[in-house]
C-alpha cells in the first residue's frame, strides 16, 4: 500500500491511529526509542572494542600522491653541461631474525615457529606474542607453502601488543613485497592475490605445488566468521634452490587465527 510515493495518509487513517489508547501509543514510542538506543550502543561498542584494529587499518592505507605540475620552460633556455647520473642502488635494510615484514601495510612482527594446528591452548597463548607459523607447513627455504596466521582483533581484556597485528592485511595489493627472516636469511615474496575463505576450508593450508607464503587472519574485523588470505610467491632466493619438504595434509577443525 505504501509503495506509491504519492500516497498520503487519509484523514480517516490518521484519526484511527490517534484513537489508539494513549498508553499503547506511549509503549510503542518507548519501544522504538529503546531499539534505536540498543542499535546505537551496539555500534559504538563494536567500534570501541576494535578501535586499535581500525586505527591500524587506517594507518596502513597509502597516502594519495599530490599532482605533479611540470615547470614552465623559460623563454631562452641556457644550455648546461650534461653529466652522467649514476643509477641509485636501493638497499633494503635487514630485518630482525624470525620476523615478518610487510612495509606496504605497516606490518612488522616476530614469528613463533612450529605451533601445532590441533593445540588450541598453545595457539591462543602464542598468538598473543605475534603471528605464528603452523607446524606441518613449510619453513622459508623449503619447497611448499609457509603458513603464518595472526590476529586481526582480540577480546579487549586480553593484554598483548599483537592483538590486531594482521588487521591491515585487508589493504594488501598484488605485487607488493613481504619479507620473512628465518635462520638469519631473508626470503622475499610477491603478493599474487587476496581472497576470503570459510574457517573450515583447510585446503588453503596445503601447499600443492606452490612455493610461497600465505598470511591468514580473521575477517571482518571483530569477528571470526571468515578468513582473509594474502597469497604471495617466493621471488628471492630462487625457489628452485629450496630443499625438499612434504607438507602435512590438514583435515578437520578450523583455521586458527583471530578473535
Res. 36 pLDDT band, cuts 50 70 90: low
Whether 152 has a pLDDT exceeding 90, the answer reads yes
Q: What DSSP designation does 55 have?
A: H
Do 111 and 235 reside in the same domain of the chain?
A: yes
Residue at grid coordinates 594482521: 166
pLDDT: which is higher, 211 or 68: 211
Bigger pLDDT: 247 vs 45 = 247
221 domain-assigned: yes
In a domain, 146, yes or no: yes
Question: Would the pLDDT of 10 be above 50?
Answer: yes
Q: At residue 64, does pLDDT exceed 60?
A: no
- 139 versus 94: the higher-pLDDT residue is 139
The confidence score (pLDDT) of residue 25 equals: 60
pLDDT at residue 107, rounded to an integer: 96
Please determine, for residue 91, whether its predicted confidence score (pLDDT) is greater than 50. Answer: no
The answer to whether residue 59 is domain-embedded is no
Tell which wins on pLDDT, 228 or 254.
Answer: 228
CATH classification of the domain holding 160:
2.40.260.10
Q: Tell me, what's the pLDDT at 16?
A: 64
Task: Quote the domain boundaries for residue 44.
Answer: 11-49
DSSP β-ladder status, 132-134 and 112-115: parallel
- pTM equals 0.71
pLDDT at position 201 is 94
Residue 79 has pLDDT above 60, yes or no: no
Tell me the C-alpha distance between 82 and 73, whole Å.
18
pLDDT at 2: 42
Domain membership of residue 114 (yes or no) is yes
Contact 143, 242 (CB under 8 A): yes
DSSP 116-158: -TT-HHHHHHHHTTS-EEETTSPPTTBSSEEEEE--S---TTS
Tell which residue, 234, 117, 231, 229, has the closest CA to residue 182: 234
The number of domains in the chain is 2
Percentage with pLDDT > 70 across the chain: 66
Give the model confidence (pLDDT) of 95-146 as tens digits.
899 999 999 999 999 999 999 988 888 999 999 999 999 999 999 999 999 9
Rounded-to-10 torsion of CA 225, 252, 140, 228: -10
For residue 204, being part of any structural domain is answered with yes
- Confidence check: pLDDT of 196 > 50: yes
225 lies in a domain?
Answer: yes
For residues 221 and 55, what is the distance between their CA atoms, to the nearest angstrom?
12
Amino acid at each position: 500500500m505504501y509503495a506509491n510515493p504519492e500516497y498520503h495518509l487519509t484523514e480517516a487513517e490518521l484519526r484511527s491511529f490517534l484513537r489508539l489508547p494513549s498508553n499503547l501509543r506511549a509503549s510503542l514510542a518507548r519501544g522504538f526509542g529503546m531499539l534505536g538506543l540498543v542499535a546505537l550502543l551496539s555500534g559504538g561498542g563494536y567500534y570501541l572494542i576494535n578501535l586499535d584494529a581500525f586505527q591500524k587499518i587506517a594507518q596502513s592505507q597509502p597516502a594519495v600522491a599530490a599532482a605533479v605540475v611540470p615547470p614552465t620552460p623559460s623563454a631562452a633556455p641556457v644550455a648546461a653541461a650534461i653529466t652522467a647520473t649514476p643509477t641509485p642502488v636501493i638497499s633494503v635494510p635487514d630485518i630482525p631474525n624470525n620476523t615478518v615484514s610487510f612495509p606496504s601495510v605497516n606490518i612488522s612482527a616476530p614469528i613463533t615457529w612450529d605451533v601445532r594446528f590441533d593445540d588450541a591452548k598453545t595457539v591462543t597463548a602464542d598468538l598473543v606474542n605475534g603471528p605464528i607459523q603452523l607446524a606441518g607447513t613449510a619453513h622459508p627455504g623449503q619447497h611448499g607453502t609457509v603458513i603464518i596466521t595472526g590476529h586481526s582483533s582480540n577480546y579487549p581484556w586480553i593484554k598483548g601488543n599483537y592483538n590486531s597485528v594482521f588487521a591491515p592485511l585487508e589493504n594488501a595489493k598484488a605485487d607488493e613485497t613481504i619479507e620473512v627472516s628465518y635462520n638469519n636469511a631473508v626470503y622475499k615474496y610477491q603478493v599474487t592475490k587476496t581472497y576470503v575463505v570459510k574457517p573450515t576450508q583447510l585446503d588453503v593450508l596445503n601447499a600443492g605445488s606452490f612455493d610461497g607464503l600465505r598470511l591468514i587472519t580473521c575477517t571482518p574485523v571483530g569477528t571470526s566468521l571468515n578468513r582473509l588470505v594474502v597469497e604471495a610467491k617466493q621471488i628471492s632466493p630462487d625457489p628452485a634452490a629450496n630443499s625438499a619438504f612434504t607438507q602435512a595434509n590438514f583435515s578437520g577443525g578450523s583455521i586458527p587465527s583471530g578473535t
